[in-house]
Amino acid sequence: MDGIHDLGGRQGFGRVRYTCNAPAFHADWEVRANSLYAFAVRLGVFNMDEYRHAIERMEPRHYLTASYYERSLTGLATLYVEKGIVSREELERRADGLFPLAAPSAPGRTNVPTRGRFKFGDRVRVRLDYVPGHVRMPGYIRGKTGVVVSESPAYPFPDAHAHGVEAQDEPTYDVRFRSDELWANSADAALIHVGVFQSYLERFGGQS
Amino acid sequence: MPDQDPVIRRTTSMEQRVDAIQAALDERGMKATEAVEELNHLATEQWVPQNGARVVARAWVDAAFRERLLANGRAAVEELGLFMPKHHRHLVVLENTPTVQNVICCTLCSCTAFTIIGLPPDWYKDFEYRSRVVRESRTVLREMGLELAPEVEIRVWDTTADTRYMVLPMQPPETMGWPEEKLVGIVTRDAMIGVARL
On whether both B89 and B150 belong to a single domain, the answer is yes
CATH code of the domain covering residue A68: 1.10.472.20
Report the percentage of chain B scoring pLDDT > 90.
Answer: 91
Give the integer Cα–Cα distance in Å for A39 and B33: 10
Q: Does A76 touch chain B (CB under 8 A)?
A: yes
Q: What's the domain range around B165?
A: 48-193
pTM: 0.95
- pLDDT value, residue B87: 82
On whether both A127 and A190 belong to a single domain, the answer is yes
- Is B6 a member of any domain? no
State the smallest CA–CA distance between residue A208 and chain B in angstroms.
25
Q: What is the pLDDT of residues B161-179, one digit of tens each?
A: 999 999 999 999 999 999 9
Q: Pick from A15, A39, A72 the residue to mutate for testing the B interface (most B CBs within 10 Å).
A: A39
> What mean pLDDT value characterizes chain B?
95
- Is A95 a member of any domain? yes
- pLDDT value, residue A208: 44
Of A35, A98, A197, the CB nearest to B9: A98
On whether both A99 and A128 belong to a single domain, the answer is no
Residues of chain A with pLDDT under 70: 206-208
- Is A116 a member of any domain? no
Determine the average pLDDT of the residues in B93-111. Answer: 97
- Is B97 a member of any domain? yes
- Is A208 a member of any domain? no
With 0-12 / 13-18 / 19 or more C-beta atoms within 10 angstroms meaning exposed / middle / buried, residue B173 is: exposed
End-to-end CA distance of chain A: 32
Domain count, chain B: 2
- pLDDT value, residue B3: 60
Residues of A in contact with B22 (CB under 8 A): 32, 36
Helices A28-43 + A48-56 axis angle, to 10: 130
On whether both B29 and B95 belong to a single domain, the answer is no
On whether both B39 and B109 belong to a single domain, the answer is no
Q: What's the domain range around A140?
A: 123-203
On whether both B99 and B30 belong to a single domain, the answer is no
On whether both A3 and A83 belong to a single domain, the answer is yes
- pLDDT value, residue B2: 53
- Is B105 a member of any domain? yes
Measured CA to CA in angstroms, residue A149 lies from A186, A193, A194 at distances of 24, 9, 10
Q: What is the pLDDT of residues B106-156, one digit of tens each?
A: 999 998 999 999 999 999 999 999 999 999 999 999 999 999 999 999 999
Cβ within 8 Å of B, A 26-65:
26-27, 29-36, 38-39, 41-43, 47-48, 52, 55-56, 64
- Is A52 a member of any domain? yes
pLDDT confidence bin for B4, thresholds 50/70/90: low
On whether both A2 and A80 belong to a single domain, the answer is yes
State the smallest CA–CA distance between residue B13 and chain A in angstroms.
8
- Is A110 a member of any domain? no
Q: Does B142 touch chain A (CB under 8 A)?
A: no
Which of A69, A104, A139 terminates a domain? The answer is A104
Domain count, chain A: 2
